[in-house]
Amino acid sequence: MSIEVANESGVVVDEQSLVQVARHVLDRMGVSPLAELSLLLVDLDAMARLHVRWMNEPGPTDVLAFPMDELDLRGSRGVAHGSGHGQDEHDEPTPQLLGDVVLCPEVAERQAREAGHSTEDELHLLCTHGVLHLLGYDHGDAEEHAEMFGLQGELLTAWHERRAT
């Protein structure tokens, strides 16, 4: 599984822990090891520009997700089960670019203070949230919200338990 990080935020972030939490989520969700993911960390101004351009909402946000390839779906909600990858004309597995998760550490820091936990924990939550969006989850209505945030909580609990051992 290829996970690339580009930190353009100007904020020092534990990039390795972001890769680890993203890999944890993708593994737990049964995504192919051939999948490729990009994590981009940006500053407030860049995030505000992206938020206006893609969501038509003013100001910076905490996380945005930009899916790329259509997944070879073997289950519901965009989760690639089994091989979870595309096939070429010879039925050979091919890598798939899941997409980009864009995080804003400055927004994460503020939210972490308000929530009473570390900025690293907030970035892990936001990374998990963004990856779930790439896998087809959303929170547009109450049922979707409950499903996505329930799964997000389960994944983060398992992540914290794994790190504690």
CATH architecture of 2-164: 3-Layer(aba) Sandwich (3.40)
d(CA 156, CA 35): 21
Q: How confident is the model at residue 96 (pLDDT cuts 50, 70, 90)?
A: confident
Least confident of 5-9, 86-90, 133-137: 86-90
Task: Summarize the confidence of residues 103-121 as an average pLDDT.
Answer: 97
Least confident of 12-16, 25-29, 32-36, 128-132: 32-36
Q: Where are the domains of the chain?
A: 2-164
3-state secondary structure of 125: helix
121 CB neighbour count, 10 Å cutoff: 18
Q: What is the pLDDT of residue 85?
A: 41
Q: What is the pLDDT of residue 45?
A: 97
- DSSP E strand boundaries for 8-150: 35-41, 63-67, 86-87, 93-94, 96-103
Q: What is the pLDDT of residue 94?
A: 64
pTM of the model: 0.86
Which residue blocks in 68-141 are alpha helix, DSSP H?
Answer: 105-115, 119-134
